[in-house]
Amino acid sequence: MVEQPRVHVLVADDEPHIGRIIKMKLEQGPFTVTLAYDGREALELMESDPTIALVLLDVMMPYMTGLDVLARLRADDRWRHVPAIVLTAAGQEQQHKQAIELGANEFLTKPFSPKKLYARAAELTGVPTEGTGVPER
Ligand SMILES: [Mg+2]
């Protein structure tokens, strides 16, 4: 079997269980997930690790919101083209519009389907979405 290179993903959410669920799901496939728990930590991790190829950002986080982090990424040539998925609680239509305007590639409302999240992460990073042996759930 050919070893597929792993795609490095940064997941920033201040609720640790959300990060854990996403990490568990994505690491069933060819992803390696690093977790951050606030917006400032997310930016620090981007600074220190140029291999991050996908970012998942919760909107409501301490120090900097996910939208603030996204704005910073899109204003910087190092990160302008790194795909970003924004996550938020239900009933935040205004955030959805802002996220898309700021350059988010996808917007998911909690509770989201881990399977759908995996599929979008795979599409955005060019990883096969089928035939990877990822269990259905
Ligand atoms: Mg939050």
Give 84-101 pLDDT, tens digit per residue: 999 998 888 899 999 999
The alpha carbon of 66 and the centre of ligand 1 are apart by a number of angstroms equal to 9
The alpha carbon of 42 and the centre of ligand 1 are apart by a number of angstroms equal to 13
Identify any residues that bridge with 7 across adjacent strands, giving them in sequence order: 31
> Any idea how long the chain is?
137
Residues 28-69: pLDDT tens digits? 999 999 999 999 999 999 999 999 999 999 999 999 999 999
What number of other Cβ atoms are within 10 A of residue 57's Cβ?
27
Is there a contact between 97 and 118 (Cβ–Cβ < 8 Å)?
Answer: no
Residue 78, phi-psi category: left (phi > 0), alpha (psi -120 to 50), beta (remainder): alpha
The H or E element spanning position 67 is: helix 66-74
The pLDDT value recorded for residue 134 is 53
Q: Domain spanning 7-125: which CATH class is it, in words? A: alpha beta
The alpha carbon of 105 and the centre of ligand 1 are apart by a number of angstroms equal to 19
Query: Whole-model pTM?
Result: 0.91
C-alpha to C-alpha distance for 120 and 126, rounded to whole angstroms: 10
- How do the domains of the chain map onto residue ranges? 7-125
Q: CA geometry: angle at 85 spanning 3 and 48, to 5°?
A: 65
